[in-house]
Structure 1
């Protein structure tokens, strides 16, 4: 728009479906402005009206006039004191199938008399013939599945989405994809078809490789709606007329990989004219989940797509006769391989690291059976038997892998870089933020952190793209502020939070990841088993902290309204655990509990800091995690009190303010000494205490000095794990230790971020010693958590910061601060961020004579406080400003 205004449009970039809230328009305008909102249903006239400035409205569907599949257009017209703007270009959205009754299709299962072993089950082909009786004006396909599906219409693949319908808490939330298939239809004979495989629904998932998590059978639901030029309507859906057979994909599993026998391929199977003699009837499925059409909805997140292709940097023949393909970059996705003309089987093993002989190793990626302690296979193996025809290509689309290297065994002839392509697959997030500076090491660190997030944003935020691929709550809790500086993760996060809420137990407990195949049924396991894995502080607190950080980044108050019930149940659960449980070590030291222990959370299961350097990785199972858990109970209670105030739940706000005060007193009584020293005396304890406001003002200087001393005692090396690392450098910088923060950031030698660069990392490691000094790999080499350090580059080095405790007038960067803190020998730094109001920018440089220049861009409708390194402060309104 051509006026100095900002306009935010929510929910207009996805097809609307059941349970998707109506679109909301919100704006910020100069004083004296007015807005006219106009919308219309189909070809009807415009319905419009003026509203006051600084407001937002829900766009009506049009009541009974709006039916499933109809199109709604909207326009916004703005008046300012300077005169009337031009009309914005028309935008539109389209209603999907809004009600269960809109579905005439029925679920179908492929014919499968004897399901195979998990990880070895074939994909199925499904097809139905029909006639298109008249010229096509408009056509839409609505589809979803229990499993992973690819749709085809008249022999052509529908759309460009991957791994549909995605990974959700399928029992409560199942996403429907809507496709414009008008161009794929002509009058006459037609075929609607699909490939269906196990996917997350019944495939092997997670660290334990558990199968059949959501059910024992795959199924497809699809409905094709064709509007004809003569005004008639044709609807074709899944029903008992569909046929099925097994595909040339003889095994398909997200963890184990795919097996293709191209000799079994059926050319033309999804097109008219194919002879399907010998195919079996698909079975209509009823009851249980099949009867619940109310769980069908549209996803608020962008879809998964192929977002990039990478040519290998090298293909090396190995002494064994195999070939090693090196992409030069650790990715999530698959390898496309041009097949040699041969009859023998090729095996593709994907991994992240090489052994001492220069061959691929996957030993470090093997999971552990938690119950037996046995190691599990690493998986990520694809096999293909070529048909022997010239020009064949192998590309598995029903699995993904986390890998940089691929060992190809069985090729009859030599392979070159021209034969292989790395196909990057992840959620197609919109890039919104960038950073660069004068130190190429920091630019490289930023780059590998971005790649690590990309590798773990595959429909859900995962911990790693190879060994587990689970939506671990603690990982996303600590990384979401960083992710929001890089990409638009609003819808992506809301999708995940809805699954987290769906899987919450009756008592408010949350498991460690979402979606959880066990769902709420896991709460009925024996108590001694639950205490080994569920309800961990830090991880469960994601249900409070993630929505809050999203509100800070995007200013969406509706999000706090939606997820506040989940937050309340979690905080009540944690408070109850504090009241009723005590750690055995504390019981032994103090058999009679002190009064403050009523608010001390030290019982139950907790992961603790996780992956602290030099700490036994099994210590968390018996360690007293009271300092961590009580800190998070305080943090969540404080945030819930603030959130309740913002949502108008004032009694709850007072209640949780009171709870937070008691928890704070308990933490200080148990872990804080009169001189500002803390117990346990770890870097993580000090960082968390200062970041969460656990230390009173008069002791903060002493506590921060002790933190600095601990770091120097460790040889100026980082000593934090998962939870505290994102706060480490900001805490140091904000408490008078900026030089030490830069020293830690740029420190060589293990453990450090620079060690990752020195040892060739292209993504962030799970452990600080992911590749040790002898080149041996350990655990996942693609875990984004420790990459949260790059938020420091955006918020402190370049200095672009959101408001810590925003209200409706400041959230979403409507008010923000630019306060760059140069250091580390840098002479230049810049960050940009596409906020809901426009692009904000902070860029500074130091001249050869030491002069400092800062350029700040403030988007329309926002204000910024600008603080220079010498302490001078300025108030900046919209526009670009230069300070010297």
Structure 2
């Protein structure tokens, strides 16, 4: 174990956060001893104590709420924790945090640069399917990035300066010629019509007495640029705008605020255009020293002053987007169409390119793709409207190192045109993502399984970009279904609660007045219009398994972190969604029963079941896709499975909501929701489950969901498990589950007595399977199992979709055996699968009290298990029917000592 000390001091899950948005922020730390008491002291910037908890007899070290005098907005605080073990061994930790601004007092104007009205491109789902799209040059359709400057004078240097800023669009800012912060694509993606995040920056080091200039480059971003499946533009607005406040504190106690105003001036910059999908064009011939105070902007145009508007402003929550890694080029290959650069890994990001001296006006083009074809030729795997993913640099005749500023792409390969030669040292892939802490570890003696886990992590990193997206190249939409199935796996790999909480803020903002939870968030006015006029899938607003994310995701976060506040924040939205399901169930009948005279008892049962409407069902079930064109096949699984899937998730949401009500000490609500869940399950069994455990749709996914969501009475579970096993064996030991059932398949087999078959499915090398992807060169999780066909044919699909990576949670829980048994990891079970066929498994999962690490080996006799347990976690090692308590620290257990409990 680590040296005894208080460490990992956090406020609202973050280390030294600059702008905590909570009236009663919560403090956490790790104490490497058996804590029996603690004391928290908080002081303001003047050194005055604002809270002293006193000595509190408690072993708790996580999420202890502030209980002092009200904190001041936009202020800095220091805090100290003392942790005791008995009467001696006092450990101390110190840190600091800042509070968020009070945005109700915002007085800065929204300023809008004078800019040409961009061509608004609107496309329907049918347009996308037909492949219709623009045929003109991007420069004719897109507008330049706008530059904005506002000068101000300071009589003296402030002792403290905080810049608050947000935009309709995405921005980069400079003060005194120095970049403000290290974020990219700020302020990120929000449901802008309802909320827009304000960033807080510490800029004291960038200010000087005399003339200062705040310079901002403003691009379309998610606000006005091309986003979503259809690639339509201006989905939130067609003009970009900016607002900011600079809060200053001086040595003598004076305070001042400088605000964005009509005094700003604007002009087009060297970026001819910048679009998240289309790409970016930078003309170095038009570069200016425009960020310095000496630059003359008298010829620039005045901005449009829209006045102050505080209604949508919220403090930024979670982690900003940053450059989180760099990957060197693995190889470069000349082709007649340009140099192909392989970075060895599918990522979300962009290319930083060293450009030699070429003629002024010459264009260097960087195209992006996730894969090459079977013959190693360039292959654009993502097709559709506005998906060019091409960046262009126009040379000024000098050598340069260039990286795009306002776009990102999903790619592994780049094709570079316009240069005679490209060497591996010339190109770097810059990974762009929300800057989460990645804390999990999973390695084994099998390289393919290790690669599978790495693929999951890379897909998580590539899609956790401002919001959790489905894919970083084609849609970049915050689909709720993907997050619902992947949330458990995500928690093992990274500290995700602040990031996902921010997305849940958007999801709640997008919830409809009737309680429907959208299938993706953020949701734009264009999305709303498209659903109103769309048909089939294009008309879906809410869907079973997708909308249920509003219940399942907060519960998962609570289970893995112990954070009750995530439940409190989302409970009203959960109840509204559940009420919508209940009303719809009472009002509608499935099409097959609408013309049938139902007995009163059956009508009563049907009135309980949410089993109507358009849903995605068990989306992309492999057997329903095989041998058919994608646009025809995608409707088969929804048609077959929606009537079963919807009430199963209805019951699941009711059950989770009842548990949540219990956690929040609402016993009446808990009992009422629990009773409704039981009645829905009973009606489901009566309507759809045979006495022999059979279901009306003989697909693996239906049995996996029925078992995993506890839809079956105890006497029929074994028979249903046997039916599931039969379907898996009949499919050659291969999975046949779609998006919603995938997380439940292996556990359903395992818990119904078919452990060997669960292992067969995991180790399966034929498609559809996880290791088929690995064997075919995958570096991320694919959207479809046959992204690369056995004959090498490449499909025009995404190669970076994390949904099927939900298996990663199973690897941690079953192979390594690390699983929580109470919320927040207060108790845990270590139950490794020593019979899985591996020689070594080495894994670690972060908990609020520190990492739990497990390493087991069978390469030599006796086999051994080493388990590290942090103080604060009560853990048991379970093998067969024997349980061994684990002490904090390192536990080494020769398995020979447990020989009666397990056959090696």
Asked if TM exceeds 0.5, the reply is yes
Is 1:358 paired with 2:386? no
Partner of 2:655: 638
Report deviation, 1:556.
0.5
- Paired with 2:248 and 2:568, the residues of 1 have a C-alpha distance of 38
Residues 465-522 of structure 1: CA deviation (Å, up to 9, x unaligned): 0000000000000001001010000101100111100000011111210111139966
Where in structure 2 are the equivalents of 1:706-785 lying within 5 Å?
706-778=723-795, 779-785=797-803
Is 1:670 paired with 2:677? no
Partner of 1:512: 519
SS of alignment partner, residue 159 of structure 2: strand
The answer as to whether partners of 2:116 and 2:143 remain within 8 angstroms in 1 is no
SS of alignment partner, residue 599 of structure 1: coil
In structure 2, the CA distance between the partners of 1:589 and 1:27, relative to structure 1 (3 Å rule), is farther
Q: How many residue pairs align between the two structures?
A: 855
The partner residue of 2:25 within 8, 23, 45 is 23
Report deviation, 1:528.
6.9
Report deviation, 1:5.
11
SS of alignment partner, residue 739 of structure 2: coil
- Paired with 1:229 and 1:4, the residues of 2 have a C-alpha distance of 34
The answer as to whether partners of 1:351 and 1:404 remain within 8 angstroms in 2 is yes
In structure 2, the CA distance between the partners of 1:31 and 1:740, relative to structure 1 (3 Å rule), is closer
The answer as to whether partners of 2:532 and 2:539 remain within 8 angstroms in 1 is no
SS of alignment partner, residue 160 of structure 2: strand
- Paired with 2:18 and 2:205, the residues of 1 have a C-alpha distance of 22
- Paired with 1:377 and 1:626, the residues of 2 have a C-alpha distance of 36
Report deviation, 1:876.
2.4
The answer as to whether partners of 1:31 and 1:53 remain within 8 angstroms in 2 is no
- Paired with 1:675 and 1:841, the residues of 2 have a C-alpha distance of 42
Higher mean alpha-carbon deviation, 327-336 vs 727-736, is at 727-736
Is 1:77 paired with 2:66? no
- Paired with 1:789 and 1:673, the residues of 2 have a C-alpha distance of 30
The answer as to whether partners of 1:482 and 1:791 remain within 8 angstroms in 2 is yes
The partner residue of 1:878 within 874, 879, 888 is 888
Report deviation, 1:867.
0.3
Report deviation, 1:23.
0.9
Partner of 1:379: 388
SS of alignment partner, residue 885 of structure 2: strand
- Paired with 1:167 and 1:542, the residues of 2 have a C-alpha distance of 19
Report deviation, 1:576.
1.9
Report deviation, 1:131.
1.8
Residues 824-883 of structure 1: CA deviation (Å, up to 9, x unaligned): 42111121112001111122111434x332122221112012102x43112224222222
Instruction: Give TM-score scaled by structure 2 length.
Output: 0.90
- Paired with 2:242 and 2:867, the residues of 1 have a C-alpha distance of 52
Partner of 2:285: 263
Higher mean alpha-carbon deviation, 870-879 vs 480-489, is at 870-879
Partner of 2:664: 647
Where in structure 2 are the equivalents of 1:530-545 lying within 5 Å?
532-545=539-552
The partner residue of 1:326 within 317, 338, 342 is 342
- Paired with 1:578 and 1:27, the residues of 2 have a C-alpha distance of 47
Higher mean alpha-carbon deviation, 579-588 vs 415-424, is at 579-588
Is 1:410 paired with 2:421? no
The partner residue of 2:486 within 476, 479, 485 is 479
Partner of 1:299: 316
Partner of 1:863: 874
Report deviation, 1:677.
2.1
Cα RMSD for the two superposed structures: 2.5
In structure 2, the CA distance between the partners of 1:33 and 1:880, relative to structure 1 (3 Å rule), is same
In structure 2, the CA distance between the partners of 1:277 and 1:776, relative to structure 1 (3 Å rule), is farther
- Paired with 1:591 and 1:781, the residues of 2 have a C-alpha distance of 48
In structure 2, the CA distance between the partners of 1:770 and 1:12, relative to structure 1 (3 Å rule), is closer
The answer as to whether partners of 2:19 and 2:74 remain within 8 angstroms in 1 is no
In structure 2, the CA distance between the partners of 1:171 and 1:827, relative to structure 1 (3 Å rule), is same
Partner of 2:135: none
Where in structure 2 are the equivalents of 1:800-819 lying within 5 Å?
800-803=818-821, 810-819=822-831
The answer as to whether partners of 2:19 and 2:200 remain within 8 angstroms in 1 is no
Where in structure 2 are the equivalents of 1:425-440 lying within 5 Å?
425-440=432-447
In structure 2, the CA distance between the partners of 1:8 and 1:733, relative to structure 1 (3 Å rule), is farther
SS of alignment partner, residue 622 of structure 2: coil
- Paired with 2:116 and 2:394, the residues of 1 have a C-alpha distance of 25
- Paired with 1:319 and 1:590, the residues of 2 have a C-alpha distance of 70
Residues 440-483 of structure 1: CA deviation (Å, up to 9, x unaligned): 11011111111111110101110000000000000000001001
The answer as to whether partners of 2:231 and 2:386 remain within 8 angstroms in 1 is no
Is 1:793 paired with 2:808? no
- Paired with 2:17 and 2:685, the residues of 1 have a C-alpha distance of 51
In structure 2, the CA distance between the partners of 1:436 and 1:57, relative to structure 1 (3 Å rule), is closer
- Paired with 1:597 and 1:217, the residues of 2 have a C-alpha distance of 50
Partner of 1:236: 258
SS of alignment partner, residue 210 of structure 1: coil
Partner of 2:38: 35
SS of alignment partner, residue 338 of structure 1: strand
In structure 2, the CA distance between the partners of 1:7 and 1:696, relative to structure 1 (3 Å rule), is farther
Is 1:398 paired with 2:406? yes
The answer as to whether partners of 1:797 and 1:820 remain within 8 angstroms in 2 is yes
- Paired with 1:273 and 1:259, the residues of 2 have a C-alpha distance of 27
The partner residue of 1:225 within 229, 243, 247 is 247
Unaligned runs of at least 5 residues, structure 1: 368-375, 804-809
The partner residue of 2:223 within 183, 201, 212 is 201
The answer as to whether partners of 1:72 and 1:94 remain within 8 angstroms in 2 is yes
In structure 2, the CA distance between the partners of 1:61 and 1:465, relative to structure 1 (3 Å rule), is farther
Residues 338-363 of structure 1: CA deviation (Å, up to 9, x unaligned): 2232332222221112235533222x
- Paired with 2:21 and 2:46, the residues of 1 have a C-alpha distance of 26
In structure 2, the CA distance between the partners of 1:589 and 1:194, relative to structure 1 (3 Å rule), is same
SS of alignment partner, residue 614 of structure 1: helix
Higher mean alpha-carbon deviation, 621-630 vs 777-786, is at 621-630
Is 1:115 paired with 2:134? no
Higher mean alpha-carbon deviation, 331-340 vs 78-87, is at 78-87
Report deviation, 1:26.
5.6
Partner of 1:685: 702
The answer as to whether partners of 1:144 and 1:164 remain within 8 angstroms in 2 is yes
Report deviation, 1:316.
1.0
Report deviation, 1:654.
1.7
Unaligned runs of at least 5 residues, structure 2: 122-140, 625-632, 895-904
The partner residue of 2:577 within 570, 573, 598 is 570
Report deviation, 1:773.
2.1
SS of alignment partner, residue 567 of structure 2: helix
Partner of 1:371: none
Instruction: Give TM-score scaled by structure 1 length.
Output: 0.92
In structure 2, the CA distance between the partners of 1:813 and 1:624, relative to structure 1 (3 Å rule), is closer
SS of alignment partner, residue 569 of structure 2: helix
SS of alignment partner, residue 184 of structure 2: coil
Higher mean alpha-carbon deviation, 329-338 vs 731-740, is at 731-740
In structure 2, the CA distance between the partners of 1:28 and 1:832, relative to structure 1 (3 Å rule), is closer
In structure 2, the CA distance between the partners of 1:395 and 1:683, relative to structure 1 (3 Å rule), is same
Higher mean alpha-carbon deviation, 42-51 vs 545-554, is at 42-51
Report deviation, 1:559.
1.0
In structure 2, the CA distance between the partners of 1:28 and 1:656, relative to structure 1 (3 Å rule), is farther
- Paired with 2:290 and 2:199, the residues of 1 have a C-alpha distance of 23
Partner of 1:841: 853
Report deviation, 1:553.
0.3
Partner of 1:344: 362
Report deviation, 1:439.
0.9
